[in-house]
Structure 1
Amino acid sequence: MTSGQLLTFSGVVVLGAMSPGPDFAVVVRRSALAGRVHGMATAVGVAAGVLAWVVAAATGVAAAVAVTPVAFTIIKLVGAGYLVYLGVNALRSAWRHGSSVPSDPDNGSTVESGLWAAFRDGLLCNALNPKAAVFFVALLPQFLPADAGLVSMLALSAIAVAITVGWFLTVANLVAAARRAFSRPATRRLVDGVSGALLIGLGVRLVFTSAR
């Protein structure tokens, strides 16, 4: 691969990472309501999901998912269900805990439920999104020839992961820097309500997504 191809690939991945979607919504909510570290853990989870899809695309697994209606539909429905689950929990938090900062993981809120939960949310939001499979299946063949070796695959994987984690770590830190504004109960309730509605809407939209 030439440096021009690497730059082009990087540019496309940057645009994909910056596109508004469930990954962005989850990172922003975690960063705003749980803090910088939780937001960064979610960002790393998203990057791990991207790594999984890049490797799957390079090895042909993602292509099989994209062209197999049953596999695509199963991943799509599971992913949509998970987004709706996150959205409903956010709305419950807005309704029940808008006047206080949740600290007990058993009190019905998922905001302060630990770094593993933050990482898991980012990972599953990306890994259960078949649109990511379609994206990388369409993208990688333009940069990886049929006889591409392990080094080329690892190089593109590393670039995709580095760009993704860099972007979402930036988002997490920027949102967390303004966290003082989110300490107000009304603002926290607004963030929960808006992010919950957005996640549910994205989940419903995912249900009607096709591989083409």
Structure 2
Amino acid sequence: MEYLNEFMTIALVHLVAVASPGPDFAVVVRNSVAYGRRIAIYTSLGIGLAILLHVAYSLVGLSVLIATTPWLYTVFSYAAAAYLLYLAVGALRSGPTPSQPQDTVSDVSMISPSKAFGIGFLTNGLNPKATLFFLSLFTAIIDAETPQTVKLAYGLYLALATALWFCFLSYLLSTSRVARLIGEKGYWLDRLMGLLLLGLAAKLVID
């Protein structure tokens, strides 16, 4: 109960952050539309695990180093932008495919679960905005006197909540009603996510 107020604040801030459109949202929507629910869920799990990466370096103070060292932050930003650009190009090249049920995408176009997991992990892990989010979280919201074990528990919650949110999004996008709505024109949504990823990559470079 001692840390309940702190936890509630963290949960609320995280809810707002995770629900906002960004690279994670774009790749989950893209993979759900292009490859189906199963691949999108693996992508979501990769995103959730990457949260623990941010938590780990925040606990040891590396987030402060990254955020306050201009050249290091620049390198990090350009690496993230390059990866988002790579994903954007793949999404923008999407075209019509023969009509088939969700989650039964042809083997030719399907990616492996491990690749989907890696896409999710790298998308979140390389995102400098996530670095800044956890920097502010562990310096401005979480009290310096809060024990490391409690901070770790916060981190585990954030990872689990993130994975569950994107798994829910994956499920929602692959329900029969949404699948019918997307129908044969789903590649346009794929391309739209490509444009979003392209814009996010450009924003990282410009910022």
Misfit runs of 4+, over 2 Å: 99-105, 141-150, 178-183
Q: CA contact under 8 A between 2:66 and 2:72: conserved in structure 1? A: yes
> How many residues matched?
199
Q: Deviations over 1:153-184 (max 9, x none)?
A: 21111121122112111111100112344441
- What residue in structure 2 maps to residue 90 of structure 1? 91
CA distance in 1, matches of 2:26, 2:186: 14
User: How many angstroms does 1:76 deviate by?
Assistant: 0.4
CA distance in 2, matches of 1:166, 1:70: 35
- What residue in structure 1 maps to residue 106 of structure 2? 103
Summarize the alignment of residues 123-138 of structure 1 with structure 2, pairs less than 5 Å apart: 123-138=121-136
Q: Secondary structure at the match of 2:174?
A: helix
CA distance in 2, matches of 1:194, 1:128: 22
CA distance in 2, matches of 1:39, 1:57: 27
Pairing 1:198–2:201 present: no
Q: Deviations over 1:20-73 (max 9, x none)?
A: 111001101111221111111111111112111122112101111111111111
Gaps of 5+ in 1: none
Summarize the alignment of residues 1-212 of structure 1 with structure 2, pairs less than 5 Å apart: 1-94=2-95, 98-100=96-98, 103-104=106-107, 112-177=110-175, 178-184=178-184, 187-209=185-207
Q: Secondary structure at the match of 1:159?
A: helix
Q: Deviations over 1:102-138 (max 9, x none)?
A: 6355xxx6xx211111111111111111111111111
Q: CA contact under 8 A between 2:6 and 2:142: conserved in structure 1? A: no
Q: Secondary structure at the match of 1:93?
A: coil
TM score, norm. by length of structure 1: 0.86
CA distance in 1, matches of 2:143, 2:97: 56
TM score, norm. by length of structure 2: 0.88
User: How many angstroms does 1:93 deviate by?
Assistant: 2.4
CA distance in 2, matches of 1:99, 1:36: 17
- What residue in structure 1 maps to residue 102 of structure 2? none
- 1:34 partner amino acid: Y
User: How many angstroms does 1:196 deviate by?
Assistant: 1.3
CA distance in 2, matches of 1:155, 1:141: 16
RMSD: 1.8
Q: Deviations over 1:182-206 (max 9, x none)?
A: 441xx13212221111111111111
Gaps of 5+ in 2: 100-104
